[in-house]
A and B are shown apart, each in its own frame.
Chain A
Amino acid sequence: MGFRLEPRISTPAWLNVALSLAAVLAALVLCAGLIALAGANVIGAYAIMFESAFGDVYALTETLVKATPLVLTGLAVAVAFRAKFWNIGAEGQLLAGAVVGCWVGGFPHVPGPIAIALMLIAGAAGGALAALVPALLRVRLKVDDVVSSLLINSIVYYAMMALIEGPWKDRMSGYPNSPPIQDAANFPILMEGTRLHLGVVFAALAVPLVWLLMRRTTLGFAINAVGENAEASAYGGIRVDRVLLTAAAISGGLAGLAGICEVGGIHFQVMGEISTGYGYTGIVIAMLARLNPLGVIPAAVFFAAVMTGAEAMSRATGVPVFLAQVIQGTALITMLVALLFTAYRIRRTGGPAGVRAT
């Protein structure tokens, strides 16, 4: 063919960043076709999306509010995938965290800071437990973690709905919601007149903490080692099963925190729409970040902007709001293709030079 793929020894850092940007750009270009198909002006539609996500201070805070659960689910998936624990269950773990944390947030007569701390702990524990189920099934019974974590998403969702339609239904409102958490447990608002809440700080703190965990601790080293080569790790004295379970618990805990941030900062109760697929978007974010915790922030902000932007763009142009979901799926695929360039470099091979310059 005139070209040949050649394995790369290592990937320079700038290339990782460049490829993520290229993947996002390619996704936006590909999805432009759908905007045109819907009869809208492509540049105009993207301009509205950008404007409504970053145009003024309020828009910016709304994007950060949306990015908060996405940072946490992105980190959750990144930690799990580093260990090659295929956790597709961040969605269910988020819901589990929201339910347990919201229940704790409803305890009366607890002072604010303690109530918030208890909610965080309970939410993380709920998410961790939900993640330990597929991890234990894999370690003990060799059950495929992808399938079990996906099925558990449905189980957790229906269990949550059954609770808020049944015994946990808020008698005051009569709607399928849980009772609200105590006022003292509501996350403080950071900026007057916006919804920017304390959860943003938790998400921002989680990023360097997870980075330190993965890069500077023995556990992080073990998680990476198990993901790279489980057999060699076991040979080297790492207890693979225990590392997998720990990674699962950390991953689920982070997803649970995402749920608690939504309860404590936005909804103040559990309801059916507590998550709009944040767990699945977390997979896209983790991949775009190349499983690097630091990369999760820009990726999460980007998809938060796509989500808030798509709503405004849909109202203004009539392009269906589901464009946001198409962009997510396309970006995951373009990122995956971009990975080819990190593992391989394209080399011209011999033969008549310049003849096949395609």
Chain B
Amino acid sequence: MSGLLEQLFQVGFLAALIRIATPLMLATLGEMLSERAGVLNLGIEGIMLIGAMAGFCVAYFSGSLWLGVGAAVLAGMVLAALHALLTVSFGLSQHVSGIGVTLLSTGLAFFIYRLVFGQPSQPPSVPPFQTVPIPGLSAIPVIGTAVFNQYILVYVAMLLVPVMAFILTHTPWGLSVRMVGENPHAAESAGVSVAVKRWQAVVIGGGLMGAAGAFLSLAQFNAFTFGVINGRGWVAIALVVFGQWRPWRCAGGALMFAFIDALQLRLQASNLGQHVPYETFLILPFLLTIVAMASVSRNAIAPAALLKPFRKEER
């Protein structure tokens, strides 16, 4: 056990923690943006999967990882647009539409992957993203190697937290997004188009979810597998609640989840893992996510118009 504690503070553990947190940060921020505008997106799990698939396929055939990331973002935006059409334009149930988008995206991702690659005995792979040290900062002992010698997408995700916080609180666009999520009637009387702002937030959020999927298939692993998302989308939705719909707290939640996940991976590899089936440890992150959500839910204040469709003529 003391060996385990020592491991926790090693560079490798910290670096793994950051890597595990990255797709969660991207996805959680995407979901948060959508929900701040008043639209719950339960399509996230499927959108991440289709991002992982599209990113991998395009990277595999073009040879360009960044083209893959672009394709993943685009795929995420297209499916999020479907969700926006159903929930924002048609005012249909956000719950059911989201589940529909997840089922459809999951089926499509598997279908297209099987169509493209068939059933090879060895799953195809791509040379994954390499880490890029930031000059200067990466020389700091421990933290430098763990945090500043990472994939570029990791830096993007880390930068996105303050950027998102700034946009939501200090830009006209961010203010109007929050307005349509809190009080759409007031927004409409102030000349803000509720439908347009919600569409934008949902679609941009979908792009982030797609990018999160691409990180998994192009950086964290270098292949697409059917279980690549493995509930991370649902976890992201829980983290938005835990993060109280605020970027910094959501990022903190993602780091906390990543800590638990990295820990259970270490436990799998430890002495204990020799005697206990590894699935036992896989329960931990999900269980603790529920506990985390339960600890804040009683006092959580969701965007007031979340789940409520908006029609101009109805009051």
Q: Measuring CB to CB, which residues of chain A are less than 8 angstroms from any residue of chain B?
A: 34, 37-38, 86, 88, 137, 141-144, 146-148, 150-152, 154-155, 158-159, 161-162, 165-166, 280, 283-284, 287, 320-330, 332-333, 336-337, 339-340
Let me know if B298 and A141 touch, CB within 8 A: yes
- For A287, list chain B residues within 8 Å (CB): 96
Does chain A have a CB within 8 A of B130? no
- For B230, list chain A residues within 8 Å (CB): 154
Known: A38-B115, A340-B90. A143 touches B294 (CB 8 A): yes
Within 8 A of A (CB), among B52-99: 82, 86, 90, 92-93, 95-97, 99
Let me know if B101 and A34 touch, CB within 8 A: no
Let me know if B100 and A333 touch, CB within 8 A: yes
Q: In the bound complex, how far is the Cα of B110 from the Cα of A287, in angstroms? A: 24
- For A166, list chain B residues within 8 Å (CB): 276-277, 280
- For B92, list chain A residues within 8 Å (CB): 336-337, 339-340
Let me know if B234 and A150 touch, CB within 8 A: yes
Let me know if B104 and A329 touch, CB within 8 A: yes
Give A152's nearest chain B residue, CB to CB. Answer: B290
Q: In the bound complex, how far is the Cα of B297 from the Cα of A262, in angstroms? A: 36
Does chain A have a CB within 8 A of B241? yes
Let me know if A86 and B290 touch, CB within 8 A: no
The stretch that binds A, out of B6-14, B198-206, B281-289, is: B281-289
Q: In the bound complex, how far is the Cα of B286 from the Cα of A329, in angstroms? A: 25
Partner of A333, one of B86, B106, B241, B294: B86
Q: Measuring CB to CB, which residues of chain B are less than 8 angstroms from any residue of chain A?
A: 42, 46, 82, 86, 90, 92-93, 95-97, 99-108, 110-111, 114-115, 230-231, 234-235, 237-238, 241, 276-280, 282-283, 286-287, 289-290, 293-294, 297-298, 300
Let me know if B293 and A336 touch, CB within 8 A: no
Give A284's nearest chain B residue, CB to CB. Answer: B103
Let me know if B297 and A158 touch, CB within 8 A: no
Give A4's nearest chain B residue, CB to CB. Answer: B313
Let me know if A325 and B96 touch, CB within 8 A: no
Known: A88-B99, A161-B277, A333-B86. A144 touches B293 (CB 8 A): yes
Let me know if A325 and B110 touch, CB within 8 A: yes
Q: In the bound complex, how far is the Cα of B103 from the Cα of A88, in angstroms? A: 12
Q: In the bound complex, how far is the Cα of B40 from the Cα of A263, in angstroms? A: 36
Let me know if B110 and A329 touch, CB within 8 A: no
Partner of B298, one of A38, A142, A283, A326: A142
Let me know if A329 and B237 touch, CB within 8 A: no
Known: A165-B279, A284-B103, A326-B107. A336 touches B93 (CB 8 A): yes
**Closest CB pairs A-B (n = 6):** A329-B104, A325-B107, A329-B103, A326-B107, A165-B277, A320-B114
Partner of A141, one of B114, B277, B297: B297
Known: A137-B294, A154-B286, A330-B104. A147 touches B241 (CB 8 A): yes
Partner of B103, one of A34, A144, A150, A328: A328
Shortest beta-carbon distance, A336 to chain B, in Å?
5
Q: In the bound complex, how far is the Cα of B114 from the Cα of A230, in angstroms? A: 46
Partner of B114, one of A162, A280, A322: A322
Known: A287-B96, A326-B107. A337 touches B86 (CB 8 A): yes
Other A-B pairs, 14, CB within 8 Å; known A162-B283, A333-B104 = A137-B294, A143-B297, A151-B234, A152-B290, A155-B283, A165-B277, A320-B111, A326-B108, A327-B107, A329-B105, A329-B107, A329-B108, A332-B99, A336-B92
Known: A137-B290, A325-B103, A336-B100. A147 touches B234 (CB 8 A): yes
Partner of A283, one of B82, B90, B99, B280: B99
Give B46's nearest chain A residue, CB to CB. Answer: A329
Shortest beta-carbon distance, A279 to chain B, in Å?
11
29 contacts between A and B (CB under 8 A): A143-B294, A147-B241, A148-B294, A150-B237, A151-B231, A152-B286, A152-B290, A154-B231, A154-B286, A155-B286, A158-B279, A158-B280, A159-B280, A162-B280, A166-B276, A283-B96, A320-B111, A325-B110, A326-B107, A328-B103, A328-B107, A329-B46, A332-B99, A332-B103, A333-B82, A333-B101, A333-B104, A336-B97, A339-B92
Q: In the bound complex, how far is the Cα of B277 from the Cα of A165, in angstroms? A: 6
